[in-house]
Chain A
Amino acid sequence: MSQPADRPYDALRIIDLTRELSAYATRLFADLGAEVIRVEPISGRADRGEAALPGLGGDVSYAFLNANKKSIALDLESEAGRAVLVDLIASAGAVVIDGEEAALLPLVLSVPGARVVTLISHFGLDGPYAGYLGSDLVTQSLGGITWMSGDPGSPPLRIAGGQAGFVASLYAATATALALYDIEVNGGGAHLIDVSAQECIAHSLQNALQVWDLEGRIPMRGGEGTRDATEQIFACQDGHVFLASPLSMPLSWKALVDWMAEEGHPGGQRLAELDWSDRRKRATRALRDEFRALFESFAANKSKAEMRNQALRRRIIMAPVSGIADLAADPQLVFRRYFHDLPHPAAGRALRFPGAPYRLSEPVWRVDRPAPLVGEQSEELLGRGALHSIAG
């Protein structure tokens, strides 16, 4: 039987001075047992945004990224407040910082002890862009991923949902864990990790950098000339599906053509003709457009759910394009009991949370505490007596 105390990051305290670029990094630790303490001003840190619900303490990003964490409110303008921060850092195995809190770096590094200090910024601590202002769109653009999406006749397009922050957080969390490993296993000294979100994005460009480096080609958004005619989003009766059946996936392609033939659709005959076995031709505008017309006429009377069932049965690489609202009814996610409701007493309701990014055979991942209100754990962490002098 596993003891509740046995979780991967038990006995690790992390001081959290994060914002949108790295808040997810510390949440990953918190979900596996670390005590993650947001240290924020009495009025709350600006990353909370505007409360999405009365009592929530922040917007939906805040609520998601800061679950399982604690909050202590300190006046860091005062000497007493800074002294508490120093004590907290002295008790911690890691400190994670981004945004304006980077100004605290000298103070953080002045506290003795072998710990990991991870600083996440848009462009890194030094270099000609070190003083540049970033944002999700700016950083996705300078990192090279905005270039990769969108329609050829329209501007390049960023990926939705604040992905600069998620990508930077995932690298930051991994790097922090690696440096902790060195301290804990090898007796290594203190480590400073300087994470650049621009570099993180540039590390996530599929094979586009190698395409330039080795073959001197620049991939174009929209996939014309590079992506197979089948690799597109297509309209069906009640929405869209994503299909991929290039010649490199011959079984899926054959199953698709057979299906169309079985239903007496003209695509069954046309797609069996010779020009469809030419890999290069299939990526041209002409064949992409022709395939779209054929497939969309075939799909017009079929629902997303039907298409998915056929994809399963016929082993075609095809899936519905789900909206966020569709996810809660996804049969697989329902079967795996993926979503769960996290009670939020201050907001007077429960919040629907995505489940673990990984299922572990040991019962060590949990989200059991909503994102904290400002200073919610000040008293718990400092003791009643200390509060007055610090909170002023």
Chain B
Amino acid sequence: MKADFLRGIRFADLTWAGAGPFSTKIFADFGAEVIKVESATRVDPVRLGGPFRDGIPGVNRSGYFASRNTGKRSVALNLKAAEGRAVVRDLIRTADVVSNNFGPGAMERLGLGYEEVRRIRPDVIYLSMPMYGEDGPLSNLLGVGMTISAVTGLMSLTGYHDGPPLGPGTHFPDHAANPYHAAFAVLAALRYRRRTGRGMKIDLAQVESTINCVGPAVLDQAITGQEPQRVGNRSARHAPHNVFRCKGEDRWCAVTVLTDAQWLALARTIGAEALAADPQLATAAGRVARADELEAAVTRWTRLHEAEAVMSALQAAGVPAGVVADPRSLIEQDPQLRHRGYWQRLDHPELKVATYTSPPFRLDGERVELTRPPLIGEHTDAVLAGILGYDAARIAALRASGTIEA
């Protein structure tokens, strides 16, 4: 289905890179008119970062960019020029939401700070997403997604039970915690505006957003006074609970015993009758105390079998188990994602037919259909003429002066 729930809502979207555009993508996927204001001379770094179709770089060939910008329209302007900023102000006058994820002060330097924007659009919903917040002693600290993991405790918590902090292998906070906190806040602000007529500013400090995703550890530390221990793939309360090596190169299956019955089912499936009969292992505490021994027993069995066979045998016995999927196996083999129509194939002038993830839910039994991401500046003329009412001569003059970049 084409979901057009948000028809009539317009974004003047100045976000770039990863977390910001992911926040506004869901609005475009649900029918809002998300107008991405970007520059062809100071290009969105995600357009310059790969992967690229066939490995050949190009501003319209980045799969990373494509995955964050489905359904948006692109206007390419030089914001360093006063005329470029005037066009943006005209656009903002018509916009319900103005979004950015620049560092502190950048929007003010463009003359697009909240107070200024509010003067031209009094009920605006204004989303900012600086890393550490707009004010304060560390507000100018530079960072990437992994920096956010570092300063929030997420990096410290993530590591093997007997090793140093490793952190997520991706810029994890950019890809869920921050964009979807932001999207939720904008939707709440829209409801607030309906009820009160008032807009608001959303200052989403990405560090503050991410700390909520380690909230239980914060409470735990405050209560016990102890730093939470890294547990890796293990659990403090359950065993065996880990990923286990399977047949083949670098193939693994997660197995998590969460109840006594699951333990017995696991022990029988792997042919460990003696362990199944061991009274010390009848309780979770007894199993946790002997986790090394039990993991070795499980590995003796799993390494003889393919990961998929381990998963299906254990699931059939009632034990939570799942292969450690890599990107290729997810796209090409996972029968569940395929069955649910998770992958969408969209055509695009330069990316050609490529694979996209659906919004990760079904709505009334259907998938929300995506629209392909824009070429840089693809909609400049349509937006300036159709929304702002500029005539052809004015658009030509803006193009001649370099204000319009594409």
Contact = CB atoms under 8 A, between A and B. Distances in A.
A324 B167 contact: no
B176 A209 contact: no
Contact of B211 (A123, A137, A320, A327): A327
B348 to A, nearest CB: 11
Contacts of B362: 124-125, 193-194
Interface stretch (A144-152, A257-265, A292-300, A377-385): A144-152
A43 interface: no
A146 B170 contact: no
Contacts of A218: 326-328
Contacts of A83: none
B365 A360 contact: no
B227 A211 contact: no
Contact of B192 (A6, A151, A315, A331): A6
Contact of B361 (A141, A171, A352): A171
A322 B151 contact: yes
Contacts of B150: 233, 241-242, 319-322
Contacts of A162: 216
Given A124-B340, A171-B361, A332-B136, A362 B198 contact: yes
Given A207-B63, A209-B327, A336 B133 contact: yes
Contact of A137 (B230, B256, B315): B256
A233 B164 contact: yes
A129 B164 CA distance: 35
Contacts of B359: 171, 175, 203
Contacts, number: 484
A360 to B, nearest CB: 5
A188 interface: yes
B269 interface: no
Interface string B30-41: 100000000000
A163 B153 CA distance: 13
A311 B220 contact: no
A217 B150 CA distance: 27
A124 B219 contact: no
A146 B142 CA distance: 27
Contacts of A338: 208, 211
Contacts of A170: 176-177, 180-181, 184
Nearest to A221: B169
Contact of A157 (B159, B212, B227, B245): B159
Contacts of B141: 308, 311-312, 319, 332
Contacts of B328: 212, 218
A21 interface: no
Contacts of B181: 28, 170, 357-358
B59 to A, nearest CB: 15
A331 B137 CA distance: 7
B82 interface: no
A129 B232 contact: no
B334 interface: yes
Given A231-B146, A359-B202, A174 B220 contact: no
Contacts of B102: none
B75 interface: no
Given A60-B223, A65-B216, A171-B361, A199 B143 contact: no
A343 interface: no
A156 B360 contact: no
B256 A206 contact: no
B245 A155 contact: yes
Contacts of B278: none
A333 B132 CA distance: 9
Interface in B183-242: 183-185, 187-192, 194-196, 198, 200-205, 207-209, 211-223, 227-228, 230-233, 235, 241-242
A303 interface: no
A185 interface: yes
Nearest to A212: B327
Given A166-B177, A252-B142, A146 B254 contact: yes
Contact of B320 (A7, A124, A134, A174): A134
A319 B143 contact: yes
B320 to A, nearest CB: 4
Contacts of A150: 160, 166, 169
Contacts of A134: 320, 322
A373 interface: no
B111 interface: no
A186 interface: yes
Contacts of B167: 149, 233, 242, 321
B360 A203 contact: yes
B238 to A, nearest CB: 9
A92 interface: no
A229 B296 CA distance: 35
B91 interface: no
A175 B368 CA distance: 11
A177 to B, nearest CB: 4
A211 B334 contact: no
Name which of A178, A218, A308 has the most chain B CB atoms within 10 A of its CB: A178
9 contacts: A9-B188, A137-B241, A141-B323, A174-B26, A185-B194, A194-B363, A218-B328, A324-B157, A332-B137
Please provide the 4 A-B residue pairs with the shortest distance between their CB atoms, ordered closest to farther. Answer: A210-B63, A199-B360, A170-B180, A352-B222
Interface of B: 3, 5-7, 18, 26, 30, 45, 49-55, 63-64, 66-67, 114, 132-133, 135-144, 146-147, 149-160, 163-172, 174-177, 180-185, 187-192, 194-196, 198, 200-205, 207-209, 211-223, 227-228, 230-233, 235, 241-245, 252-254, 256, 258, 315, 318-328, 330-331, 334-337, 339-340, 342, 351, 354-355, 357-365
Given A174-B26, A319-B143, 11 more contacts: A28-B181, A141-B252, A141-B323, A144-B325, A160-B154, A162-B216, A173-B184, A203-B359, A317-B143, A353-B218, A361-B114
